[in-house]
Chains A and B, each alone.
Chain A
Amino acid sequence: MSDEHGSVFDGLLGGDSSQWAFGTDFEDPLAGVDTTTPGGVDPAELAAYCLMLGDDALIMSQRLSEWCSRAPDLEEDIALANMALDLLGQARLLLARAAAADPGVVPALPEGSPVPPEDALAFFRDDRDFRNVRLAEVANGDFAHVVVRLLLFSTARLALLERLRTSRDQVLAAVAAKGVKEVAYHRDWAGRWFLTLARGTEESHRRLLAALDALWPLQGELVAAHPLERSLAGAGVGVDPASLREEVEAVLDQVLTVSGVPRPERAPLAGVGGRTGRDGLHTEAMSRLLAEMQVVARAHPRGRW
Chain B
Amino acid sequence: MNADRRATEVPRQARSPEAADTGPHATGAPGQARSPEAADAGQHTASQASDAGRSDARRRAAEAAGQVRDPEMPMLTLADLGVLRGVEVERDAAGGEVVIASITPTYTGCPAMATMRDDLVHRLNDAGFGRVEVRVVLDPPWSSDWISERGRAALRAAGLSAPGPAPRREGPVLLTLSGPPRPAPACPRCGSAATRLTSEFGATACKALYRCTDCLEPFEHVKEI
Query: For the complex, is B50 an interface residue (Cβ under 8 Å from A)?
Result: no
Q: Scoring A residues 18 to 55 as 1 if CB is less than 8 Å from chain B, else 0, what string do you get?
A: 11111100010111110000000000000000000000
**A181 near B225 (CB under 8 angstroms)?**
yes
**A181 near B178 (CB under 8 angstroms)?**
no
**B117 near A23 (CB under 8 angstroms)?**
yes
Could you say which residues of chain A place their CB within 8 Å of the CB of B136?
Answer: 29-33
Could you say which residues of chain B place their CB within 8 Å of the CB of A30?
Answer: 136
User: Which residue of chain A has its CB nearest to the CB of B179?
Assistant: A192
**B109 near A18 (CB under 8 angstroms)?**
no
Query: For the complex, is B134 an interface residue (Cβ under 8 Å from A)?
Result: yes
Given contacts A75-B199, A87-B109, A162-B172, contact A191 B138 (CB under 8 A): no
Give Cα A78 to B205, complex, Å. Answer: 10
Which B1-50 residues have a C-beta within 8 angstroms of A? 1-5, 9
Q: Which of A162, A179, A189 contacts B108 (CB 8 A)?
A: A179
Q: Which of B2, B172, B209 contacts A21 (CB 8 A)?
A: B2
Which B91-120 residues have a C-beta within 8 angstroms of A? 102, 105, 107-111, 113-115, 117-119
Given contacts A23-B114, A78-B202, A162-B172, contact A178 B137 (CB under 8 A): no
Query: For the complex, is A149 an interface residue (Cβ under 8 Å from B)?
Result: no
Could you say which residues of chain B place their CB within 8 Å of the CB of A87?
Answer: 109
Give Cα A27 to B141, complex, Å. Answer: 20
Given contacts A18-B121, A20-B2, A254-B175, contact A182 B107 (CB under 8 A): yes
Query: For the complex, is A297 an interface residue (Cβ under 8 Å from B)?
Result: no
Q: Which of B107, B113, B176 contacts A188 (CB 8 A)?
A: B176
**A19 near B107 (CB under 8 angstroms)?**
no
**A178 near B108 (CB under 8 angstroms)?**
yes
Query: For the complex, is A239 an interface residue (Cβ under 8 Å from B)?
Result: no
Could you say which residues of chain A place their CB within 8 Å of the CB of B121?
Answer: 18
Q: Which of A23, A32, A33, A158 contacts B173 (CB 8 A)?
A: A158
Q: Please give the distance in Å from B200's CB to the nearest CB on chain A.
A: 6
B135, B138, B202, most chain A CB atoms within 10 A: B138
**B110 near A89 (CB under 8 angstroms)?**
yes
User: Which residue of chain A has its CB nearest to the CB of B124?
Assistant: A18
Q: Which of B5, B138, B178, B181 contacts A174 (CB 8 A)?
A: B138
Could you say which residues of chain A place their CB within 8 Å of the CB of B114?
Answer: 22-23, 27
Give Cα A189 to B202, complex, Å. Answer: 13
Majority DSSP secondary structure for residues of A touching B: helix
**A180 near B122 (CB under 8 angstroms)?**
no
**B117 near A27 (CB under 8 angstroms)?**
yes
Could you say which residues of chain A place their CB within 8 Å of the CB of B113?
Answer: 27, 29
Which B73-95 residues have a C-beta within 8 angstroms of A? none
**A162 near B205 (CB under 8 angstroms)?**
no
Give Cα A20 to B1, complex, Å. Answer: 10
Tell me the count of chain B residues lying within 8 A, CB to CB, of chain A.
49
**A182 near B201 (CB under 8 angstroms)?**
no
Give Cα A305 to B122, complex, Å. Answer: 21
Query: For the complex, is A300 an interface residue (Cβ under 8 Å from B)?
Result: no
Query: For the complex, is A249 an interface residue (Cβ under 8 Å from B)?
Result: no
Give Cα A85 to B110, complex, Å. Answer: 8
Query: For the complex, is B192 an interface residue (Cβ under 8 Å from A)?
Result: no
**B139 near A174 (CB under 8 angstroms)?**
yes
Query: For the complex, is B148 an interface residue (Cβ under 8 Å from A)?
Result: no
**B177 near A181 (CB under 8 angstroms)?**
no
Query: For the complex, is A5 an interface residue (Cβ under 8 Å from B)?
Result: yes
Could you say which residues of chain A place their CB within 8 Å of the CB of B202?
Answer: 78, 82
User: Which residue of chain B has its CB nearest to the CB of A17?
Assistant: B118
Q: Which of B5, B111, B177 contacts A192 (CB 8 A)?
A: B177
**B115 near A175 (CB under 8 angstroms)?**
no
Query: For the complex, is A93 an interface residue (Cβ under 8 Å from B)?
Result: yes
**A31 near B105 (CB under 8 angstroms)?**
no
Query: For the complex, is B183 an interface residue (Cβ under 8 Å from A)?
Result: no
Give Cα A79 to B134, complex, Å. Answer: 31
Which B168-203 residues have a C-beta within 8 angstroms of A? 172-173, 175-178, 181, 198-203
Q: Scoring A residues 163 to 207 as 1 if CB is less than 8 Å from chain B, else 0, what string do you get?
A: 000000011011101111110110111011001000000000000
Give Cα A189 to B132, complex, Å. Answer: 41
Given contacts A18-B125, A254-B175, contact A188 B200 (CB under 8 A): yes
Q: Scoring B residues 204 to 220 as 1 if CB is less than 8 Å from chain A, else 0, what string do you get?
A: 01000100000000000
Closest 5 CB pairs of A and B: A89-B109, A32-B135, A89-B108, A174-B138, A75-B199
19 additional contacts (CB under 8 A) given A189-B201, A192-B177: A16-B122, A17-B118, A19-B2, A20-B2, A23-B118, A31-B133, A31-B135, A75-B209, A79-B201, A89-B109, A174-B138, A175-B108, A178-B138, A188-B177, A188-B181, A191-B176, A251-B175, A254-B175, A258-B177
| 8 pairs, CB–CB < 8 Å, chain A vs chain B | A16-B122, A16-B125, A81-B201, A86-B109, A158-B173, A171-B138, A174-B138, A177-B140
